[in-house]
Amino acid sequence: MINYKTHGRAQNESLLCSLEYSLNGMMKRFQRRGKKSNGIYGKIDNLHISLDGNRPISIVEDAGNQTVYGAMEFQSHSTNGTQYGYDDNGSLIWDANKQIAHITYDNLNYPKEVQFTNGNRIQYIYSPDGQKLRATWQTAVSNIVVPLNSTVNLSSSQISSTTRTDYIGNVIYTGTASSSSASVKLSKYLFEGGYATVTPSTRPVFHYFTEDHQDNNKNGYGYSCNHVTF
């Protein structure tokens, strides 16, 4: 096995991340320390990943799920032997831990619809060359149950709310939608080095990023009304 270990520190508390990979470069073991639900720093992830070739099929997590906000840890929602399903192309089609009941793909193998086990679903529309044009989120009423590897077509009475995001070049519009109409407004404008967020009641807020030598974003800064937010 090939082992890699990375160490970090935040707020004077030790954060340790330990990873183990297979010879094919697939992660087989992951341990991480962080802030636990009781406020004490300790082990928040201890993942044992079973693989079928290069595809994860199950994950055993024996550190327990945390409830503290911002824990950024793996949440285990299944103890079954097989927790992930794939189609003939090797694309993920259901995920028991993420509570994804089914993912449907289009002819270009882009995700067309994602439905969760509670009935919520996301639908995507793309241009012929694969550019994402729209994402629609539907929130189902309570008591909807969708079995893994299946879908449920929601009736209008089973949808409590619908929101929509339209992508037109560098401009993003968001709003609400129904089966017959939609109301979307300018939400975000993307530009090199950052983006601007827009709301009807406030001035635009400009967000800028600083990058490292590999062009990865390191820090974000926001500017609005003569003050800078970090």
pLDDT at 222: 62
What is the chain's alpha carbon radius of gyration, rounded to the nearest angstrom? 21
17: which 2 tokens? Answer: 């991340």
- Indicate whether 180 and 92 sit together in one domain: yes
- Indicate whether 2 and 41 sit together in one domain: yes
- Indicate whether 162 and 146 sit together in one domain: yes
pLDDT at 69: 75
- Indicate whether 175 and 96 sit together in one domain: yes
pLDDT at 227: 43
Last residue of a domain, one of 40, 59, 76: 76
Per-residue pLDDT of the chain (230 residues; tens, 9 = 90+): 455 544 434 444 556 788 999 998 999 999 988 888 888 888 899 999 999 999 999 999 988 888 877 777 899 999 889 999 999 999 999 999 999 999 999 999 999 999 999 999 999 999 999 999 999 999 999 999 999 999 999 999 999 999 999 999 999 999 998 767 778 899 999 999 899 998 777 788 898 888 777 777 666 666 554 444 44
- Indicate whether 153 and 213 sit together in one domain: no
pLDDT at 190: 94
Residue with tokens 């709003």: 175
- Indicate whether 180 and 93 sit together in one domain: yes
- Indicate whether 206 and 144 sit together in one domain: no
- Indicate whether 22 and 94 sit together in one domain: no
Domain region containing 132: 80-184
